[in-house]
Amino acid sequence: MPTVYKTLGQSSPAATTETDLYTVPAATSAVASSVIVCNRSAVLSTFRISIAVGGLATTNKDYIYYDLPIGANDTFIATIGVTLATTDKVRVYASNTNLSFSLYGSEIS
């Protein structure tokens, strides 16, 4: 079973819109090792990140970050080490259009 280390997803989502950042492909598992959120604006913003098992609708239990503030022109970096199965989804949400999300890790097939 080969492991591929890669950028799992990148997005600059629309404001206040839950957006799929990464979906684990069929016959694959993944480890999301780190997430980076960049605030490209001069104002305080907030963000959310959730893990939807099996790609189901997001519920309260799915959030790993919820309305976390990120300062103006700042970057949030976290080592998360989240294991993901086929069809699991990582979703993001931003309070404005000036946040960029990057997810890094490995896929195992």
Task: Determine the Cα–Cα distance for residues 83 and 73; give it in Å rounded to an integer.
Answer: 30
pTM reported for the whole predicted model: 0.96
pLDDT tens, N- to C-terminus, the chain (109 residues): 789 999 999 999 999 999 999 999 999 999 999 999 999 999 999 999 999 999 999 999 999 999 999 999 999 999 999 999 999 999 999 999 999 999 999 999 9
75 close to 36: Cβ distance less than 8 angstroms: yes
Q: Are 11 and 101 spatial neighbours (Cβ–Cβ below 8 Å)?
A: yes
> Given its phi and psi angles, is residue 69 left (phi above 0), alpha (psi -120 to 50 degrees) or beta?
beta
